[in-house]
Structure 1
Amino acid sequence: MEKPSHNYFSPTRIRTQDLSAAVVLVPCTLTTTPPRQSSKVVKGSTEYAKMPPIFQMDPFEECFFEPGGMYCTVDFTLVTDSPTPLMDMIREYSEPSSKRFNHSKLTYGICVTKSCTNYNSTDLRLRLESCLNDTMWDEYGLKTNVPEKFYCEDGEKTMDVTPADIVVAFIVMFLFLLNFIGSSYDFCCNPDKDRGVKFLLCFSIRRNWIKLVTPTADTPEPRLKRLKSFNGLKVISICMVIFAHSIFIGAYFVNNTAFVEGEYNKLPYQIIFNGTIIVQKFFIVSGFLLAYNLQLYAEKHALDWKVIVKAIVLRWLRLTPAYAIVLGFVLTWYRQLGTGPIWQKVAGTEVTYCRETWWYHLLYLNNYLDGSECLSHTWYLAADTQLYILGVLVWVVCRSARSRLVVLSLLFVAGMVIPAVITYIHDLDGAVIVSPEATRGFYVHDQTYIQVYSRGHTNIAGYVIGMALGYLIHYAQAADFNPQKYKKYHVCVWLTLPLGFIVVGAGKVFYADERASLAERVAAAALLKPIFGFLVAICLGSSVLKFENIYRGILEWRVWTPLSRVTYSTYLLHYVFVKYFIGNQVTLLHISFMFVSFIFMGTIFIGFLAAFPFYLLVESPLAQLIKLCLPVGREKTKEPEERKQETTTTYSSREHL
């Protein structure tokens, strides 16, 4: 699909061609003094200092002190008419690309009316290119190539309100009004749970808070209460996801790029950089809950074709309202919240893509939309929904245990073969490489991320492992499995954590100076996800069956329960805060271990802090309202359907997070 055109929706008035004729032509060139690097630089720091800095920013606010100020952020490349030692060194140093920035691709924030005043071309692109050309030629003997698209602001902030803005604002205010009325009704009238106006009670903040902090799930099925370990797993996993996304902050507009590149050679950081595989935990939990809940449902109901329709509709209704609110906010009011040298590049571009592709998100097809920058982290919701539909079809079509075993086995093999084949055909990496350049571009153009990591059909293996685990756990519970008979195998469970770190650390091979062989990359694409998935499944299965008490005790800690219930809201919101922080930068950042740690902890804190009110005011009320309106909740054969509904609402609807 063709990318949407960049229509920047700026909170400031954007000028792209003509500059004021009143600009005084004072001779001045862009200064590019290399920023001071950390003392922990790579070997050959003297040679490193000879290269132009990758990121450079003129003072932003000062650019608009004078009338007619114009500030542009430009991504440009270094070029030469003939080979030069410096350009050869830049190209040589930029390899391997897995752990180095591309030092021939620079991003500068330029106050055009101060740094480039001796260039009077009416074409802004040519003016910027001439300015940069002269500077780079004088200092480095290099030339520049400025692309057609760049981002400029003139400091005159305006608020353009569109019909979409008004609609979203009305919906949000209406939700606040419903919460106010529902909470007031609950507080003043104190109605009985079964006799009050249930519609209004759905929006009672007090009742939603009680639901949030209740230690155990409100479900008549006692076997579901054995899934408490999932709470800890979801919270720990979402924290890891937030940390992975907070790395974006350390790859854009930093003044010590040598320090960032040097950290790739340290083993502890390799565990972090290879942590993208942790998303398999979510697929395993999702597959487990689907199979396990359907097994419980099948005890008193026939699995017919109606179940497929009901399951798909229930899932869409449960996930979409909160998702749609966040999506609507991003494509409307989000653009009004910030300003800065790269606000248009980061936020404006996202708004543009969201306005063009919002319906892909609501249909959960956005993970097959290449190059989109609209809430790119929600690829998982789409992939998981696609696998959910596949899982329901398999479970309904395959009625016998043998047929399910055969089909799941074939799907598991396909889940290993498909990523391997795609990796071989397209010559991709064996896993997503958290390289400085890929992170700098938010993975929008990383082919391994696009073709293998984010697709539904390339994550089948982990989902099938989860479904198989759900079937085995249900069978073991029905057979009165006694874990005491297998005490001697506890060590196998305890080994899952260190083995998991080893599997994650195995990705270090992809950060070597020489690219891994095609055979190694194909093998990794086929095996890393399933191996990690089996380790997670062993840990989860042992916790549900009370096979051991160390990991289970940690995962079943009561503190995880309320946090686990807001993980979906946290997942939806945290990425918006990460992009907001990046987009509002007005100066270069100095990266250090402590800085990244504070950013990580701050993002987690802000993400969960925002998730609690979002859950109380949006996610929980709308989920209960949908549950109230569904016809299955009003059938006479109430107990089994209520159990299915509680199962779906308590676990399955948030199985991914």
Structure 2
Amino acid sequence: MIPARALLTFILPVVVFSNEIAFDGLNVSTDTKNPVLRNTINSELVDRSATRLEPVYPNIWLADLFYQSLVGFSVTDVGSSACRLQSKLYLSHLKNNSYWAVKMSDSWPRYLNGLLIGNTHHIGVYDECISVHQPIQGKYCMSTIELQTSTNENFTQYSKDEYASFDNAWQEILGFIDYGDRYKRNVINLGVCIPEACSSADLEVSLQRELDRIFLSHQLKAQVKVKPDLCNTNKHFFPYDTGYYVTCGFFGLLILIVSFSTTYHLVALRNGRENQPSQNLEVLNMFSVIKNGNDLIKYNKDNELNIFNGLVSIQMMSIVIGHGRLIGINHPRLYPKPVEEIHQDTHNNLVLSFNNAIDSFIFISGYLLYMTTINKLRKPGCDWFQITKIIIYKYLKSLPVHVTMIILTIFIVPHMGNGPFWANQMGVEANQCKKYWWTNLLVINNFVDGEKQCLYAGYFISLQLQLMVIGIMVVYIYGKNRKIGNVIIALLITVSLIIPFAITYYSKSEGITKFNISFSLNLFQSSSSASYHFTYLYSRFYVRGLPFYIGLLAGDIVEVLKKKQVKMSKTTTFITTLVAFGLYIYVQLYSNVFFKRHRDYNAIESSIYSSLNHLNTPLLYMWIAICHTTSSYGFLEKLLNNRFTSLLHKLSYSLYQVNITVILMIIFSARASEVSSTQILVIKSIYIIFTVYIAAVVLHFLVDAPFGLLINRVIFGRRPSTKSKEN
């Protein structure tokens, strides 16, 4: 247990200073606090708040200003000679209502709607634009337009959380404050169809010039940006290079090997020769879908750890749904109000509270590591060489699927879809992996900044392996001397409580990583790190190790209870578990206070919650482990301990590796805005879960299962088992 002095040292600052730390807005970055838009004023006007005058708004609505700018817009007098020639040809044919020219003009909007409600994407018809081939090729470009005032008036001082019917609509645009729970009203994404010879820079210059002509006369400034990878034709944006063909050849060969191995196994079954396989074909047999399928559905109902495998399988499904929700925020929405209301409702909102969902996986990793290795490490012949062997095995076992996803992300995935957003997002993913794949292989990618992350979920693999190295050494010490092991666990838990507290306090960060609308948009729409908190307080082992160490401690406690044969009644088990779960939910829901607007920042509060937040889940799971050992949960155990959950658990690693990539492919292949109704969201969630599991099954049979057997064979000399047909 944690020494009393360590606990006193940790708690004393909380008691003494809890009411003395005030919010200092000058020291808080916009990554971690509710940010206020910077003053973007360029000229000189008297501050109206000082003179008590009402703000002066443009007398023409924004949609009308856009219409005046866009109704006759085309890329003219810029760019190369080819661009100028094609633009003149387009305009001349447009005047004559030529079919191809009108298709280009008809494919993008001029009068924008939904500006007040947060309809930020005005896409038009992407496929109509790129379907034009003769006499020129249509090119679809998505531009980003940020609205500002061209005066020095700060409209944010007049902003309200809710506007009355007769308030000026311009205030919602000019006074927009990014609290993180709404789509930006002052940023508009507009799709435009231009001739192929014209570049994104040509469109940016022409559109900026045209918007300045109309907007500046109304004291408005529209800043235009057009990324090159947001301009697409029907031609392939990504080149079919050598890497693509080599990767296709490798996976084609792998499919052939799996097919041949499965066919050979099937013939052996029919001829009754399954139990006498040729030694030369032993490796080939490892790739058999029949063999790996039998291993997948194999189930040992007497395994006392099955309940935790069941918890992992169910929670993995919730992780997929959570990733779908987080990434889905980037999907253009015709009416985003329902999504905004979810993030604005800070009262008993479970969606906002589960910002530490992976703590359960980290705890279970530590608990299972202790329970499965302690007896092996107690054997007289076990030494540090055996520990090194286990670490190497765990590392190699994680590589095949992880390397496969890196290779697919770089060479294959970019070619598997298209759309107005596809090249931009998948290009970022591919480029990051091209540059920083080595950080994943060296298991240090969770120590690099967000813009250098290869695979968004890759940090967790490194986090797990780093904690596993620490954990296996701690378990070895436990096996040799339990008292020393308890001292080390106490020190690790104490340090894991103090470090997040210190980092949060000195960086003036929030107590949680807020997975809100702004976080998701910044994470998936830019190449920069989305959040200081995510980079330094979410992904590194020294701030996320607490659940793992408590998992190791839980393993030791359970082992002692087994030896003493301690038993609890089912009534006591259910009542105490309900109380523990109630306390767990209370602490989880407390995190919602950090999502409230206009709430004063308290450094001590945030720092304490940053530490205790990761103590909440493992304490609940430790009690579940104790109750499971000393009693029974009855029907709940049957729900978690069955053949189906066992099967899902064996797919969990492949599922985790592939889920974000599949979700990205679904979300960023969008061609139109969607309506956020409950029915559509449910149907989409079901589709995402089904698609992700299909991809995980394929990845399991092609890579995870066969290469796992090969690694077992190389490291431990284990041969694939040859069971009879009955087994």
**Mapped pair 1:262 → 2:344:** no
- One-letter amino acid matched to 2:441: L
Shift of 1:193: 4.3
Per the alignment, in what secondary structure is the counterpart of residue 417 of structure 2?
A: coil
Distance 1:454 1:77 in 2: 32
Match of 2:351 in 1: 272
What is the aligned counterpart of 1:352 among 431, 441, 449? 431
**Mapped pair 1:68 → 2:147:** no
Relative distance call for 1:294 and 1:373 in structure 2 (3 A) is closer
Match of 1:581 in 2: 666
Alignment deviations for residues 30-65 of structure 1 (CA, whole Å, 9 cap, x no partner): 85645448xxxxxxxxxx46xx84222132112224
Q: Which moved more, 1:20-29 or 1:203-212?
A: 20-29
Per the alignment, in what secondary structure is the counterpart of residue 70 of structure 1?
A: strand
Match of 2:680 in 1: 595
Shift of 1:239: 1.2
Distance 2:201 2:716 in 1: 65
**Mapped pair 1:227 → 2:291:** no
Please tell me whether the aligned partners of residues 378 and 476 of structure 2 are also in contact (alpha carbons under 8 angstroms). Answer: no
Per the alignment, in what secondary structure is the counterpart of residue 143 of structure 2?
A: strand
Please tell me whether the aligned partners of residues 252 and 440 of structure 1 are also in contact (alpha carbons under 8 angstroms). Answer: no
Shift of 1:264: 2.2
**Mapped pair 1:105 → 2:187:** yes
RMSD: 3.2
Shift of 1:383: 0.8
Match of 1:342 in 2: 421
Relative distance call for 1:523 and 1:35 in structure 2 (3 A) is farther
Q: Which moved more, 1:261-270 or 1:351-360?
A: 261-270
Distance 2:201 2:434 in 1: 31
Shift of 1:568: 1.2
Which aligned pairs between 1:473-484 and structure 2 lie closer than 5 A?
A: 473-484=558-569
Larger Rg: 2
Q: Which moved more, 1:87-96 or 1:225-234?
A: 87-96
Distance 1:517 1:491 in 2: 36
Please tell me whether the aligned partners of residues 31 and 135 of structure 1 are also in contact (alpha carbons under 8 angstroms). Answer: no
**Mapped pair 1:425 → 2:425:** no
Shift of 1:462: 0.8
Per the alignment, in what secondary structure is the counterpart of residue 74 of structure 1?
A: strand
Match of 2:123 in 1: 57
Distance 2:400 2:307 in 1: 27
TM (norm. structure 1) is 0.83
Distance 1:121 1:354 in 2: 25
Please tell me whether the aligned partners of residues 112 and 128 of structure 1 are also in contact (alpha carbons under 8 angstroms). Answer: no
Relative distance call for 1:91 and 1:419 in structure 2 (3 A) is farther
Please tell me whether the aligned partners of residues 199 and 228 of structure 2 are also in contact (alpha carbons under 8 angstroms). Answer: no
Match of 2:590 in 1: 506
What is the aligned counterpart of 1:624 among 709, 712, 727? 709
Please tell me whether the aligned partners of residues 229 and 544 of structure 1 are also in contact (alpha carbons under 8 angstroms). Answer: no
**Mapped pair 1:408 → 2:489:** yes
Alignment deviations for residues 395-431 of structure 1 (CA, whole Å, 9 cap, x no partner): 3356411111111111111111211222122222211
Relative distance call for 1:183 and 1:556 in structure 2 (3 A) is same
Match of 1:497 in 2: 581
Shift of 1:151: 2.2
- One-letter amino acid matched to 2:554: L
Distance 2:208 2:400 in 1: 46
What is the aligned counterpart of 2:297 among 208, 213, 225? 213
Per the alignment, in what secondary structure is the counterpart of residue 188 of structure 2?
A: strand
Shift of 1:297: 0.6
Shift of 1:72: 1.6
Distance 2:419 2:151 in 1: 37
What is the aligned counterpart of 1:614 among 688, 699, 721? 699
Which aligned pairs between 1:184-333 and structure 2 lie closer than 5 A?
A: 184-190=263-269, 191-193=273-275, 195-197=277-279, 198-216=282-300, 225-247=303-325, 248-266=327-345, 270-333=349-412
Match of 1:173 in 2: 252
Q: Which moved more, 1:130-139 or 1:490-499?
A: 130-139
Q: Which moved more, 1:280-289 or 1:70-79?
A: 70-79
Shift of 1:466: 0.8
What is the aligned counterpart of 1:77 among 126, 146, 160? 146
Which aligned pairs between 1:447-458 and structure 2 lie closer than 5 A?
A: 447-458=532-543
User: What percentage of residue pairs aligned between the two structures are identical?
Assistant: 18
Per the alignment, in what secondary structure is the counterpart of residue 615 of structure 2?
A: helix
Relative distance call for 1:75 and 1:414 in structure 2 (3 A) is farther
- One-letter amino acid matched to 2:439: Y
Alignment deviations for residues 294-352 of structure 1 (CA, whole Å, 9 cap, x no partner): 21212424442213311211111111111211211111011111111111121111111
Please tell me whether the aligned partners of residues 79 and 145 of structure 1 are also in contact (alpha carbons under 8 angstroms). Answer: no
Q: Which moved more, 1:146-155 or 1:403-412?
A: 146-155
Relative distance call for 1:166 and 1:461 in structure 2 (3 A) is same
Shift of 1:203: 1.2
Match of 2:86 in 1: 22
Match of 1:375 in 2: 455
Per the alignment, in what secondary structure is the counterpart of residue 559 of structure 1?
A: helix
Match of 2:54 in 1: none
**Mapped pair 1:465 → 2:544:** no
Please tell me whether the aligned partners of residues 371 and 555 of structure 2 are also in contact (alpha carbons under 8 angstroms). Answer: yes
Please tell me whether the aligned partners of residues 59 and 111 of structure 1 are also in contact (alpha carbons under 8 angstroms). Answer: no
Unpaired runs of at least 5, structure 1: 1-15, 38-47, 635-641, 644-657
Per the alignment, in what secondary structure is the counterpart of residue 458 of structure 1?
A: helix
- One-letter amino acid matched to 2:141: C
Per the alignment, in what secondary structure is the counterpart of residue 411 of structure 1?
A: helix
